[in-house]
Amino acid sequence: MEYTIEQIAALCGGQLVKNRQVTEKVQYLVTDSRRISFPATSLFIALKTSLRDGHQFLADVYQRGVRSFMVQHVPDAAELSDADYIVVPDSLQAMQQLAAKHRQQFTYPVIGITGSNGKTIVKEWLYQLLHDDFNIVRSPRSYNSQIGVPLSVWQMNSQHTLGIFEAGISQPGEMAALESVIGPTIGLLTNIGEAHSEGFASIEEKLLQKLLLFKHAHILFCNTDDERVAKAVANSGLPLFTIGSKEGNALHITGIEQEPVTTVTDNAVTAVKAVAMPFVIRVTAIYKGSNKTITIPFTDTASIQNAIACWAVMLYLEIEDAVIAKRIAALQQVDMRLQMVEALNNCAVINDSYSFDITSFTIAIEFLQQQNQYLKRTVILSDLPAFTAEENYGMVAQILEQKQIDRIITIGSKWQGYARLLAALPARVEQYASTDVFLQQVSVSHFRNEAILLKGARVFAFERIAAMLSQQVHKTVMEINLTALAHNLKQYQQRLQPGTRLMAMVKAFGYGSGSAEVANVLQFHKVDYLAVAYADEAVDLRKAGISLPILVMNVDEAAFDTIVEYNLEPELFSFPILKAFLKFLQQQGLQQYPVHIKLDTGMHRLGFEEPDMPALINILQQQQEVVVTSVFSHLTSSEDPNDDEFTHLQATRFERCCALLKEGLGYSFIRHLSNSAAIFRLPELQYDMVRLGIGLYGVDSANEHQLSLQTVGTLNTTIAQLRKVKAGETVSYNRKGKITRDSLIATLRIGYADGYNRRLGYGRGKVWVKGQLVPVVGTVCMDMMMVDVTDVPGVTENDIVEVFGAHLPVQQVAAWSETIAYEILTSVGQRIKRVYIEE
């Protein structure tokens, strides 16, 4: 739907200031200045959060073509000279009120989902199960927050026949706003657990708050096997559809049993093979006096509960039993994460083919745009899901044109019918009737030096295209969660004092995470500086399209040409290197080249010391070749409170040197001293800029209980073989891995050549297998190692094993190795594929 600016002002109760005679109607709400696809028909809402103030980006948004704004205070007249803006007391509340009024325009059923875990999975499974019967609008990805919910509901229009939206809260009082926006007619409560409980006094309080979403619902689906849920809903007065193992439940579960995969339908076999499981789950139940049966192609408890909840909704909607059984048996895993992996011929594949809607497409194509390290950008996209109108195809075409995509490949008959929408685009366009036809006619050789986005509806099975393009290499992978990286960056940014800049460290291959990929994210989030160890690392970043200022910390004369050629900024740490660089610049006829002066205040590694200041100042005063951009030093032990006295001594020395340099040079420069640990622990030492290193990657031993950091790097491997070994036998080299009981030994596809330290053998190290820590057995080999999985039920070959990550922190692996997390992260071998995730 479209609204005039006058209508929006009336709906949200804002004061309209109109500067234009003719205003295009608003179709899109935008809260992120970096994500604007249709500026002429977008309303930018300037939100104020704990992390940033959207009013700071009004000029940027205006430059991108937006002329409709919602703000909390009247902007500078010159800033928005010919724009219309609505002034409201609270922009978030106004956006929620606007979305709630929009929601009231529609009378078709809306399913509202909340709970601690499983919201997104249930939403996506309901979409898989019901999209043949309804034209469904749903939350993109996991848009379930105070901001995400109104943006999701704003997508509703009269063409849809069912809405499915999820709601998440982190503290009391938040659900009332989301209930008014979603207005669910059907409620579904998923698992209630410890996730996101920090803001609540108890699980019971959190449960009661979540139930507020359903106060006007016609029916609430809930599992009463959880006694807390049973008690809460019994006292709620809500109309219930209860699920559980006890008699009296609307859906009475009478049996949950494993059975071999070969006994299920062909569709279920296909689904199970895709996740490498040897069993499926057969569930029997009684509903309205009749016996019912379904087969679920997953065996974990959470998936069983989620599938049963979906089953209940389908029964309520009167879907035929045979249809329900067939669709549930064919359920597919939901990976809500956008993944980027290396591909053949110097390409990268961004796989986002679990769903296809305009919002998720916009997010994915913006991620594609960030990949500046590739010469060309290619999009392979399928037909949109059923019930999609022609205007949506037109929107996709507009986005492709606006984002300047070089090559467009469509798959599906509908796109062939809408070929005219793509004909005028400057991109090279290819069209194929189906995925099968594409795979028959196209080979890997058709792609080179490209970043390739796969965006398709599930039915088109784009995983086959991803498999064709991806490098078939090591089954051990390092997952880099770029969303977590951005989250960690914001955690530190919000601790910075006003005006303090931030330099991000991307040396040592981005602490093992991949320099270019990490740098693209940092550039997108507008950090001020990057720093690398050597010039070669910086060259790779420049070739990858990184335009941020880059500090090179370890400089020698051989790198001078490279530094100047690629516009890099050197650290100068001694008189010989300073004089050599000045001489080089003189020979090149260059002046005012930016440099960074390194001070040694106690680390005694590199840098000028305090007694060197007079001579250093004298040299700098006598030349025109360089200008000092920053002066910095390195703290020895900022994470250790026991060394705070020495840390402050370093700071005092640093301040004295900076004062002398400023007086001698006659101009100011950036001062920076704090590393990750000091940013939070010692805010008084932030000065003009801070250097964020290991904390960016989710590791900060000084602040791990005070900062909400997320795991960025997860190293996973797989089980190559399972072997029964009798007591008294030995495992691995030198017969040092002695077996004291009959055991089940798993051989993993990782060894010391991949960076897994040999010191972790003989039980010192452990890995995470199916919810348990299991010990390493015997000597770690070059390419393999063995672990004891005797006590792990249901373990199978090809199961994923976490070497470090969310379940097994890298700090713990470092402690077992008698080293630090830095070494573990940077030791992960280059032959291990990096997979980049954006959630």
> Which residues carry out catalysis?
507, 733
Neighbours of 193 (CB within 10 A): 15
* 8 three-state secondary structure: helix
Distance in Å from the first CA to the final CA of the chain: 28
- The residue whose two tokens read 């930016």 is 594
User: Annotation-wise, does 503 bind a ligand?
Assistant: no
> What distance in Å separates the CA atoms of residue 336 and residue 302, rounded to the nearest whole number?
16
User: Annotation-wise, does 1 bind a ligand?
Assistant: no
> What distance in Å separates the CA atoms of residue 303 and residue 328, rounded to the nearest whole number?
11
Neighbours of 665 (CB within 10 A): 16
Closest C-alpha among 96, 100, 99, 64 to residue 83: 64
Residue 200 has what DSSP assignment? S
Those residues whose C-beta lies under 8 Å from the C-beta of residue 807, and which sit 6 or more positions away, are 768
Residue 160 · residue 106 · CB < 8 Å? yes
Closest C-alpha among 68, 54, 88 to residue 3: 68
Those residues whose C-beta lies under 8 Å from the C-beta of residue 274, and which sit 6 or more positions away, are 332, 333
The backbone region for 698, taken as left when phi is positive above 0, alpha when psi lies in -120 to 50, beta otherwise, is: left
The number of residues in the chain equals 839
Residue 76 has what DSSP assignment? P
> What distance in Å separates the CA atoms of residue 226 and residue 209, rounded to the nearest whole number?
17
> What distance in Å separates the CA atoms of residue 74 and residue 376, rounded to the nearest whole number?
42
Those residues whose C-beta lies under 8 Å from the C-beta of residue 370, and which sit 6 or more positions away, are 520, 521, 523, 524
Please give the single-letter amino acid code of residue 452.
I
> What distance in Å separates the CA atoms of residue 485 and residue 481, rounded to the nearest whole number?
6
Distances (CA, A) of 47 to 55, 148, 497, 822: 7, 13, 20, 37
Which contacts qualify for 398-404: CB closer than 8 Å, 24 or more apart?
398/37, 398/38, 399/37, 399/358, 399/361, 399/362, 399/365, 400/365, 400/425, 400/427, 401/425, 401/426, 401/427, 402/37, 403/365, 403/366, 403/368, 403/369, 403/377, 404/377
- In sequence order, the β-bridge partners of residue 17 are 85
Which contacts qualify for 771-775: CB closer than 8 Å, 24 or more apart?
773/808, 774/746
> What distance in Å separates the CA atoms of residue 352 and residue 605, rounded to the nearest whole number?
46
In three-state form (DSSP H/G/I as H, E/B as E, the rest C), the secondary structure along 705-748 is CCCCCCCCEEEEEEEEEEEEECCCCEECHHHCEECCCCEEEEEE
**How far from chain centre, in Å, is Cα 346?**
24
Closest C-alpha among 246, 251, 222, 245 to residue 235: 222
**How far from chain centre, in Å, is Cα 748?**
28
Strands (E), 427-553: 428-432, 450-455, 477-481, 501-505, 529-532, 550-552
Distances (CA, A) of 700 to 354, 637, 711, 776: 34, 13, 11, 27
Residue 431 has what DSSP assignment? E
Residue 369 · residue 361 · CB < 8 Å? no
Residue 328 · residue 295 · CB < 8 Å? yes
> What distance in Å separates the CA atoms of residue 113 and residue 211, rounded to the nearest whole number?
10
Query: Residues comprising the binding site for substrate?
Result: 605, 782
Query: Residues comprising the binding site?
Result: 605, 782
